[in-house]
Amino acid sequence: MTIYIDGNHLSLKEVEQVARFNEPVALDPEAESRIQDAHRRLNEIVATDRAVYGINTGFGIFADRRIPRKDSATLSRNLIISHAVGTGEPFPREVVRAAMLIRANTLAKGYSGVRLEIVETLLEMLNRGVTPLVPSQGSLGSSGDLLPLSSMALVFTTDEKDEEKMSGWAEFAGEVMSGKKAMELARLPRIRLGPKEGLALNNGATFSAAVAALAVCDAEKLLHLSHAALAMSLEALLGCRSAFDPRIHQVRGHPGQVRVAKEVLNLIRGSSLIDLAGRVQDAYSLRCAPQVVGAAWDTLEFVREIISREINAATDNPLLFEDGDVLSGGNFHGEPIGMAMDYLAIAMSEVAAISERRIFRLTDGKLNGGLPPMLVDSVEAAGLNSGLMMPQYTAASLVLENQTLSTPDSVHSLPTSGEQEDHNANSMTAARHARKVLENTAHVLAIECYTAARALDLRLRQYPQAQMGVGTKHFYDLIRAEVPYQPGDAWWGPEIEQVKRILMEYPIGDVIFSG
């Protein structure tokens, strides 16, 4: 189904559909009219001698330098060429596609003054599979993501020389080639930029927003998976139901906390393993999981709101308004995204941290309620077999890495452009770190599910008449359908990767948790 963008109603789910699943995209007719109206207003300004930043002046520290009208195209092209200086590994394809969509949506609002063909070209590149190669490091996210957006624009913009070596790099039909060649093979003409169009393309924290949009989608899935992991561990450890009683969570009133407790109760419904040990209460990693993971849910909802607004925002500078005013401001500044990504990284780091504590508890023979140490097949096998000793090491390592990665990036700033840009957001670093935290958290949760599944095998050997909860058994069966129990030591690493793939590909939503 084609997704129509109009500058105002793009959803995070739609970003994911286009970025990851190649959903076709088109421009809403009303947005076409707004884009054309804004371009007309821009042409009226260009026809006067009025000095307007970015249209007939230099950029940044050179904002006081007037540029002759005859040089406006060169001004835009020079901006793109000179600013495409990033470094590091290229962004994943999905991030670049998300950024292209978000940038097109920004321009579709009708405040930037670009020609209609600029937006249409971005959308056709998405539809035909032309993906620029964009370095992932070098952006401060304050005058926008200048470097990555310029690298993206290199591919579909040109000048009178039309040199292949100045066209950047792109992936098309599974091959990496020059941007010029990719556009030719896709039968898309490259564009000579007009007044302000270079600035409209690279001014805005769009790549930060693209990483953030996909991170929000991933975080929601991981939080659901954390409930499944928790439920499996709770049953394997013969945990207490009382800590999930809705009355406890309602009197505190945090929506995320209430949600976690409700979903875990649904997952363990029908379990005869719960409360089997007769304990009064469990350790915090079980008993306080609704409070910890619930706080992550509440953080995610806040972050979702911020990023949803950002992907529908006008973020370049200056902006052209219907009354003829051209206003120079700072909507390109990535502070909202940087802070939001810091919050999300902290929240998801805690989800991984409490998961690792449950992994530790499952493998410790003094804490796991009578299961063999390291979950070896039997106590007699301990020593000859190491069991799941090392997966817990891996989880601990990833949690420690998360603790470093979730140290806030948005509080750090260095001045640029001769102090004209004297406070920078560092939003791209925050977004990249949050993405890595999510990757690490996914692996920790896979280790917990893998470990808990083995613990359940051993527990059911102790209590052959016991039953798992309906939701817990669903996830246990999902794992065991592809990864059978192995009595002795095995190469656990590939099996854990397989479990992670199973869980991340599973279409998790509210249904499996709602009962």
pLDDT in tens, 35-76: 999 999 999 888 887 778 777 777 766 777 777 777 777 888
Q: Give residue 483's pLDDT.
A: 98
Whether 421 is covered by a domain: the verdict is no
One domain for residues 179 and 276: no
**Tokens (6 digits) for 376:** 């070896």
Q: Give residue 107's pLDDT.
A: 98
One domain for residues 376 and 484: yes
Give the pLDDT band of residue 512 (cuts 50, 70, 90): low
Q: Give residue 73's pLDDT.
A: 77
Whether 327 is covered by a domain: the verdict is no
Kind of pairing, strands 326-327 and 319-320? antiparallel
Instruction: Specify the amino acid at residue 220.
Output: E
One domain for residues 189 and 280: no
One domain for residues 283 and 341: yes
For the ranges 109-118, 154-163, 174-183, 348-357, the lowest mean pLDDT is seen at 154-163
Q: Catalytic: 343?
A: no
Whether 301 is covered by a domain: the verdict is yes
**CATH number of the structural domain spanning residue 56:** 1.10.275.10
Asked if pLDDT for residue 510 goes beyond 70, the answer is: no
One domain for residues 92 and 69: yes
Pick from 155, 176, 204: which residue ends a domain?
A: 204
Give the pLDDT band of residue 509 (cuts 50, 70, 90): low
Cβ neighbours of residue 39 closer than 8 Å, sequence gap 6 or more: 113, 114, 115, 116
One domain for residues 338 and 463: yes
**3-state percent helix, strand, coil for the chain, nearest multiple of 5:** 60, 5, 35
Instruction: Quote the CA–CA distance of 79 and 198 in Å, as a whole number.
Output: 6
One domain for residues 104 and 245: no
Instruction: Quote the CA–CA distance of 218 and 19 in Å, as a whole number.
Output: 13
Give the pLDDT band of residue 391 (cuts 50, 70, 90): very high
Q: Give residue 514's pLDDT.
A: 61
One domain for residues 403 and 482: yes
Instruction: Quote the CA–CA distance of 318 and 325 in Å, as a whole number.
Output: 10
Q: Which of 120, 70, 88, 97 is CA-nearest to residue 16?
A: 97
Cβ neighbours of residue 296 closer than 8 Å, sequence gap 6 or more: 219, 223, 256, 347, 348, 350, 351
Q: Give residue 513's pLDDT.
A: 63
Mean pLDDT along residues 234-241: 98
Q: Give residue 162's pLDDT.
A: 85
Cβ neighbours of residue 182 closer than 8 Å, sequence gap 6 or more: 130, 155, 170, 171, 172
Q: How many beta carbons lie within 10 A of that of residue 501, not counting itself? A: 12
Residue in 4, 53, 450, 476 annotated catalytic: 53
DSSP state for residue 371 in the 8-state scheme: P
Whether 319 is covered by a domain: the verdict is no
Domains held by the chain: number: 2
Pick from 204, 239, 264: which residue ends a domain?
A: 204
Whether 264 is covered by a domain: the verdict is yes
One domain for residues 391 and 444: yes
Cβ neighbours of residue 437 closer than 8 Å, sequence gap 6 or more: 344, 345, 348, 349, 352, 402, 405, 406
Q: What domain range is 15 assigned to?
A: 3-204
Interval 144-165: pLDDT, tens: 899 999 999 999 999 888 899 9
Asked if pLDDT for residue 421 goes beyond 80, the answer is: no
- Partners of residue 4 on adjacent β-strands: 26
Give the pLDDT band of residue 319 (cuts 50, 70, 90): very high
Phi/psi of residue 252, nearest 5 degrees: -90, -40
Whether 156 is covered by a domain: the verdict is yes
For the ranges 38-47, 151-160, 220-229, 336-345, the lowest mean pLDDT is seen at 38-47
Instruction: Quote the CA–CA distance of 502 and 198 in Å, as a whole number.
Output: 43
Mean pLDDT along residues 232-248: 98
Mean pLDDT along residues 345-367: 98
**CATH number of the structural domain spanning residue 233:** 1.20.200.10
Q: Which of 442, 445, 443, 432 is CA-nearest to residue 405?
A: 432
One domain for residues 256 and 397: yes
Q: Rounded to 5 degrees, what angle do the CA atoms 498, 476, 483 make?
A: 35
Identify whether the C-beta of residue 286 lies closer than 8 Å to the C-beta of residue 252: no
C-alpha radius of gyration, the chain, whole number: 26
One domain for residues 191 and 214: no
Pick from 204, 229, 250: which residue ends a domain?
A: 204
Instruction: Quote the CA–CA distance of 6 and 200 in Å, as a whole number.
Output: 17
One domain for residues 357 and 436: yes
3-state class of 327 per DSSP?
Answer: strand
Interval 81-134: pLDDT, tens: 999 999 999 999 999 999 999 999 999 999 999 999 999 999 999 999 999 999
Whether 12 is covered by a domain: the verdict is yes
Q: Give residue 245's pLDDT.
A: 98
Whether 490 is covered by a domain: the verdict is yes
Q: Which of 231, 266, 252 is CA-nearest to residue 294?
A: 252
Asked if pLDDT for residue 515 goes beyond 70, the answer is: no
Instruction: Specify the amino acid at residue 45.
Output: I
Q: State pTM to two decimals.
A: 0.96
